[in-house]
Homo-oligomer: A and B are copies of this chain.
Amino acid sequence: MSFYQYFNGEISPIDTAVFKTNDLGILRGYGLFDFFRTYNGVPFRWDDYWRRFENSARFLKLTIPISKGDAERILAELHARSGEQEVAFRFVLTGGYAPDGVHVVEPNFLIRTEALPQDNPEGRLKGIKVLPYEYVRDLPQVKSTNYVHMVLMADQLKEQQAADLLFHKNGEVSELTRSNLFVIKDNVLVTPDSNVLEGITRKLTIELAQPFFDVQVRTLTFDELMSADEVFTTSTTKLIMPIVQIGEHTVGEGVAGKQTLFLQNLIQDKVKEWGKA
């Protein structure tokens, strides 16, 4: 395994120090990112991820310095150098070097090759515990680099044997730190539509669920969450992960829901076939 990174036109080994210290990402938290992986050696849903990356950049008024085609060539090069069949890629776009510490002059653009995040097969079968947390992300439609609460609470999550935080505020629920939320009640599948980052796996889940469920993308209250039959979360790295415990509250019977596992199978079949056509 020998991972490389691309930074402003240069490829270097992954542990090379490339950032100067007046970067607006470092000094002002002004940055955005995206993260995706390969299946069967092919970046999964690359078009969707690139489009979301463009959206985040547009919102933060940063210009991506390369084209989509350039990005594809760089990904191929980084992938080849890794020597791995499957890899993950992280795009990071920051406000760049700012002489005055405030104004964007030219963004810094980084692509990191990373190992696939650790899988959690047990969680996928048995479900995970999450902690309710009163918070709404700032600029939720942007995949910004602001994950202060996630890092701040990491130790407490461990202590409480919880896998993640579930954000809620004013009686409404939104998302988890890095993943979207779905609940099932009878045959209705609901996912929140406000204060969320629109996940690619969320989108795919909605597509796959459409023929089988009454899918509703709308405001979801905390009370609805607490009375749901099944709850699960979706993300690039988790795909579909059942949630069986929310703080002190046990979801349904406390085991991964049947309908959740049904959808989980559908999405796992989908990724298994990716790139094989």
Contact = CB atoms under 8 A, between A and B. Distances in A.
A25 B25 CA distance: 8
B104 A154 contact: yes
Interface size class of A (residues with CB under 8 A): 35 or more
A94 B16 CA distance: 18
Nearest to A24: B151
A28 B148 contact: yes
A57 interface: no
Contacts of A148: 28-30, 60, 138-139, 144, 146
Interface string A73-105: 000000000000000001010110000101110
A212 to B, nearest CB: 34
Interface in A125-156: 138-139, 144-148, 150-152, 154-155
A23 interface: yes
Nearest to A12: B21
A21 B147 CA distance: 16
Contact of A151 (B14, B28, B147): B28
A18 interface: yes
Interface string A164-185: 0000000000000000000000
A19 interface: yes
A198 to B, nearest CB: 19
B152 A61 contact: yes
A151 B21 contact: no
A145 B29 contact: yes
Given A26-B145, A151-B95, A7 B21 contact: yes
A110 interface: yes
Contact of A17 (B17, B31, B152): B17
A124 interface: no
A5 interface: yes
A15 B17 CA distance: 12
Nearest to A7: B21
29 contacts: A7-B21, A17-B18, A18-B20, A19-B21, A22-B112, A23-B26, A24-B151, A25-B26, A26-B26, A27-B92, A28-B146, A28-B147, A28-B150, A29-B29, A29-B144, A29-B145, A29-B146, A60-B152, A61-B152, A95-B151, A100-B117, A102-B154, A103-B151, A104-B154, A138-B138, A138-B146, A138-B148, A144-B148, A146-B148
